[in-house]
Chains A and B, each alone.
Chain A
């Protein structure tokens, strides 16, 4: 293997890893704090990309606006979903939340498929991020470099918010013992609602990042979500830092597989998942 190609593949792995990290982070936040396995995550990621597309086509607002508006809009959808549906399921088994969100995902994807077909919509890279950098060992599109940097910033800010701020402390305390936190005068249900909104907002943000790279298509979520679940399982359900590190790490491993034995690139993550589950069922960074 020549080293130039190797560097290229590592960098590419990092780009894919940043999508895995952003998505699995949202999943981890939602699972960690709400105990909901959010199967609608992929569909909401897709929704984020479509909001970006609509903003451009119908309103004329470009990429940078979409980066702000899409997460808020989809986050609001998330808040409605949580208030109207998920909040009724907290007392029941995890399985019910999983089934509900899975159903929501199917409905969303089906409706978009019906309306827009599967070939997807074109969405261009914003002019300011066009172009490529010659790194010597590979050409790195400016847009991809931007995605890596932006998602690293978002991931670590989220981690900081939850692990290192007072708000985060409340959140984590509320999941351990909601009634106790409530008795201190914190509005726990509202906090949980907003957490779900934040989690799906992250998914929508990833969707906007993805729109110029992949097709804006109804299937874009379902093709990614299974991998992302594997990432969450490997990292340890609910572990924030775990999901970030595993996301980037698995992106890199997948990138290497694409170079060494491309036929296995769609399965390598699941092989790792199986091995991790056998050796360390709670995941690499899980606590229990």
Chain B
């Protein structure tokens, strides 16, 4: 063999080896949407998240870029054991490369560990606990949409600053509620307020009247609802029934989604202050996207969780395309952190070393029934919290990935 031939062969071999390395496992990028499909969190995530993930695949034009992408989904029933079992099966035997959404903090923390052990990708949108990018942070995880620190810093701070300086908490009794109460308490104390009491309530409780009575007896100015979904709806409805607000106390819904406001009705929800990172009626891009979304969702409008699933999947696919590979997970997440993010729903942003996606947060107020002009016309903007102030500073994380 001549020298020239040898180099050619060697080059070809190298190219082949390169091709073998940079490849898509199973020839398909498989994305699993894991969330509550049937319970109290099914409206804020549920099928809407599946629609959002599929829209991202469509908008990425995966086919044209030669990527074969498949989206599947399952119901974790808000149970960590069910979530862990599905996640392990998906990663191990069904060729799932990335799991997305996963509301319910307790389940999210469990899936976070599974993704780390199997070295896959986990992009969370639905869960709230700031521990995902704090003490439990993982090089395989990106936390996209919002977290408890951001909620506390938005809603909590705004309320303390306008005179709501004594608080009583009604807290969902699991990882999420605990994290939200902890982060909000820190904000209250820092801004000169104090917490006078609280109750821990089992997830999915129907009747909140006992707890509302205790809150009433506490004489706190603000009753902080550290719960979500159906729990928040029931507590707000029943608070109105017991005349809590008329009695001079105010409610602070620390995590309220658009779908919750829809379920409560504007007459009872009006005046609530809440923090979100996405609202469908922000600009032309969000409205256009929402129009496409509701065409597939049967008229249900998207929540920020749906928006986060869309944006997260879009950015994930960009990283996979740039790497020309969907494994190992740690590499893909590294690439996601390296690439700046840009999507029609959250605009331009970044993902920090701890896995925290950074973007603006918005303080909204729920409109009066008379101010609402059309379906889901529920919020007016009170303040924009700029991206660099909206989330917990890296130095306070306690995340081992941050040096």
Interface residues of A (CB under 8 A from B): 4-5, 8-9, 12-13, 15-16, 110, 113, 117-122, 124-125, 131-132, 138-139, 141, 143-144, 212-215, 217, 219-220, 223-224, 255, 258-259, 262-263, 265-267
Contacts and interface: CB of A to CB of B under 8 A. Distances in A.
Contacts of A258: 199, 210-211
24 contacts: A8-B213, A9-B210, A9-B213, A12-B209, A12-B213, A113-B42, A117-B300, A118-B46, A122-B237, A122-B264, A132-B241, A139-B243, A143-B241, A214-B234, A215-B234, A215-B263, A219-B38, A219-B39, A220-B206, A258-B199, A259-B210, A262-B200, A262-B202, A266-B204
B38 A113 contact: yes
Nearest to B241: A141
Given A262-B211, A266-B202, 15 more contacts: A12-B210, A113-B38, A117-B46, A117-B300, A118-B46, A118-B230, A122-B264, A125-B241, A213-B237, A217-B230, A219-B40, A262-B202, A265-B201, A265-B210, A266-B205
Contact of A215 (B46, B216, B237, B247): B237
A13 B229 CA distance: 24
A119 B205 contact: no
Contacts of B210: 9, 12-13, 255, 258-259, 262, 265
Contacts of B263: 119-122, 215, 217
B173 interface: yes
Contacts of A4: 217
Contacts of A16: 207
Give the most central of A124, A223, A265: most B CB within 10 Å. Answer: A265
Nearest to B207: A16
Nearest to A16: B207
Given A12-B213, A141-B242, A119 B206 contact: no
B40 A263 contact: no
Nearest to A132: B243
Given A132-B242, A141-B243, A219-B40, A120 B209 contact: no
Nearest to B232: A119
A223 B229 CA distance: 15
B131 to A, nearest CB: 20
A120 B211 contact: no
Contact of B265 (A122, A213, A262): A122
A215 B265 CA distance: 11
Given A113-B42, A219-B39, A258-B211, A139 B230 contact: no
Contacts of B238: 213
Interface in B41-61: 41-44, 46
A259 B215 CA distance: 11
B101 interface: no
Interface in B228-274: 229-230, 233-234, 237-238, 241-243, 247, 259-260, 262-265, 267-268
B401 to A, nearest CB: 34
Contacts of B211: 258, 262
B214 interface: yes
A122 B43 contact: no
Contacts of A122: 237, 263-265, 268
Contacts of A121: 263
A119 B213 contact: no
